[in-house]
Amino acid sequence: MFDLIYLILIPVLSVYAWSIYNLPILVAGVKHLRRNRKKLAKVPSEEKESSDLPSFSIIVPVKNEEKVIGRLLDALDKLDYPAEKKEIIIVEDGSTDKSVDICEKHAEKCNLSLKVLHKPSSSGKPSALNYGIEHARGDIIGVFDADSLPVNDSLLNVCKYFEDGEVAAVQGRTLSINSEQNMLTKLISYEDAYDEVYLRGKDTLGLFVNLKGSCQFVRRNVLEKLKGFDEKTLCEDMEISARLTERGYKIRFAPDVRSWQESPADLKHLFRQRTRWYRGTIEVALKYGRLMAKLTRKSFDAEATLFGPFVLIASILTYFAAFYAVFIPFSISLLLQVIMQSTTLIVTLTIFLLGMALIYSSKPRKASNLKWIPFIYFYWSAQVFIALYALFLILLHKPRKWSKTEKTGAVNATFERTST
């Protein structure tokens, strides 16, 4: 029995080490959030001459998005940015609904430069993005999903990050547009708040910042050097992030570049979405294990981030360890005592930082958000089994299938696109 216990402790220790490693990142993120929330809300973007601003090509992959694409096109039309400096490229990827008609009618009436491209065959988002890049002319490629609603100052705010010549890509902040739809969307919105704090901490400490697939911006010349997105992966955003880091490029997180988007409102669509995410991330982690060959602080953090799903799966064994500790009588060694006590401390600190994130991510600040912490904890625990399922798909060599998350157009009753 003791051999089994210590065998279980091997992956359990990896979970503890990974958790301890990420605690300083979360602390840095909370500090940055507290220090900058008011400043980011009040300080306007510096005015520049139109000639000094970079040009943008915003690419939107579209497949059966009739419920949301119209409002995105309206939002892109209203972006506070010189019309001659932005173009919108819609890559229609085999729609069978009214998406194409909506896009073409909008192209006739709007003032911005809008191209509607019909991709010959449908083969997933990465392929659609590469098809759009071939027709892009802008200095910077922006990517939004069809359900996105960028805030008016998004392009103006992202410009200052690209003033640093070493910055190749920028990830903006995404917010849930339907957080009040049900309990699941509320939990996802709080998960987004936690992710924001995590990325703030990484950006502050100069660590690995990954792109998230929407509200992301990359220099076009860099994408051309890298030959675009990997069309074989299920997580093109994470793959391009790893590739940029491997080549020495810098990725920044921009909390003042904001875009709203729809969260999955039922377990079926959440399961499909997260299965694709976890499988894609695991495959990228295995592909880019070579990041450890030239070890730097950023490459190590990139690999630690990519191995997150493995750590999540390993955490299943912590439940077995807890079971033995509670229900099976045996004398606990000093090592076990230290591990169990440190586990309690780590969980307590993580929950505390989660609470701080929930308080400071809302405006006005709401201490009442703390009541959601137990639900978020169980929500995260449930995702352990989704990650395990994704790993089984890889081990069984199941074919990769790109599955889009269906959108309904749901919006909070109190939604205001210009709010933080």
Question: How does pLDDT run across 64-101, given as a tens digit for each residue?
Answer: 999 999 999 999 988 999 989 999 999 988 888 899 89
User: How many Cα atoms sit within 13 Å of 110 on the Cβ side?
Assistant: 24
What is the DSSP code (8-state) at residue 55?
P
Strands (E), 66-138: 86-92, 113-118
Residues 358-405 have pLDDT tens digits of 666 666 666 666 676 777 777 877 888 999 999 999 999 999 887 778
| Residue 366: CB atoms within 10 Å | 12
CA distances from 312 to 7, 212, 299 (A): 17, 19, 20
Q: What is the pLDDT of residue 300?
A: 95
- Name residue, tokens 């990954």: 210
Residues 48-68 have pLDDT tens digits of 667 689 999 999 999 999 999
| Domains of the chain, start order | 49-266 (3.90.550.10)
| Residue 116: CB atoms within 10 Å | 17
Query: What pLDDT band is residue 277 in, cutting at 50, 70 and 90?
Result: very high
- More reliable by pLDDT, 345 or 115: 115
Q: Please check whether residue 250 is in contact with residue 164, taking contact to mean a CB–CB distance below 8 angstroms.
A: yes
pTM above 0.85, yes or no: yes
Cα 51 → chain centroid? 32
Query: What pLDDT band is residue 43 in, cutting at 50, 70 and 90?
Result: very low
Q: What is the pLDDT of residue 416?
A: 65
